[in-house]
Amino acid sequence: MPQLNLAKGLDWGELSPLRLTARTVADGVYAGLHRSPRKGAGIEFGGHREYVPGDDLRWLDHRALMRHGRLMIKEFETETDRVLRLIVDGSASMGFRSERAKGAKLAFAALLAAALARIAIGAGDPVAVEWLGGSGVRSLPAMGGREAFERIVGSLEQAEPSEPGPLDSAELERVIASVARHTRRGAVVILFSDLLDLPVEALDQFTSLGAQRRTLIVVQVLDPLEADFSLSGPLRLRATETRYVVETDAETARDGYLAALAKLQDTWRQRLVGRRGRLVVCNSSENPVDVVRAIIRAAEGRPG
C-alpha cells in the first residue's frame, strides 16, 4: 500500500542551483517576449473636470460637450508604483514532490519567482518578497539595481517548508496588511501557492488587494500527482498540514478529489477576475519558461 510522505528539508531536484536555473529561465522568456512581468500602461483614464482657460485642447471630451453642454477635460492618472511584489507560500504542503516532478512545489515556485524577479529588475522595476509560512525565510522590501537579484535569490534558496500544521490566520492577515500598506496603484502582486491548505479567509483577504488598481495574479503550483491523481489501488494518504491519515482506494477517491480541485480553482478564478486578477495553474513537471510566459500574459491581461 503506497504512502505519500514529505521528505525532510526542501527537495530541489533538477531545479538546483536556483541562481543559474533562474537566469536560464529568464533568458528563455526574454527570447520569446521581450517584456516586463508587469502590466506596462503608463497612464490610465481618471475621470473628468470642467475646462479652464489654458488647458490642453487635445484632452477635450467632445462627447461630454454634446451630452452636458459643457466643456470637459479628460484627466489621466500616472501609475507611479512599478513594484512587482511576490508572495510565496512556504507551508508544509509546498514541500511535496512526487517522482514526475522536477522538484518540490516550493522549489518550483521559488524558481518562477526568481526568474520573474530577474526579468523585472532588468526592466528597471523594483521587486519585493513576502512569505506565508516557511522556515528560514526572510522577507525583503522592494529593491532594484545590481544587487537586488542576488538578495532575492538568497531569500528564496534558503527557504524550507514549515513544520506540519495549519497556516496561522494571523500571519496571513499580517502579510496581506503589509502588502496593502506598501503597495500602491499600478503594482503587480503575485501569490505562489498550491491553495490547498490556506485559511478559509485567504481568498477574501488576497482579492481585497485588488483595490487601487493593483494587478493580482495567483499561481497555483501543484505536483503532477496532485494535478491528475494518477494513482491506482489501495492508498494511505497523509495530510501534510495535520498528519491526518486516510486509507482509501484510488479509483474511489479520484472523481471526488478532481471535482473538489476544479471547484477550488473555479472559485479563485471567478473572484480574481472580478478584482482585476488572473489565476495561472501549473504543475512542477512543466517547462518553467512556459509557465513564466503564462504569468506575464496574465499580468498583461492577455488570454492564455
Question: Which domains are assigned to the chain?
Answer: 3-40+80-299 (3.40.50.410), 43-77 (no CATH)
Beta bridge partners of 4: 237
Q: Is 184 left (phi over 0), alpha (psi -120 to 50) or beta?
A: beta
42 burial type by CB count under 10 A (0-12 exposed, 13-18 middle, 19+ buried): exposed
Give the tens place of pLDDT for each residue, 99-155: 999 999 999 999 999 999 999 999 889 999 999 999 888 899 999 988 999 999 999
Say yes or no to pLDDT of 233 above 50.
yes
Answer whether 220's CB lies under 8 Å from 282's CB: yes
pTM for the whole structure: 0.81
pLDDT, the chain, mean: 84
pLDDT band at 55 (very low <50, low <70, confident <90, very high): low
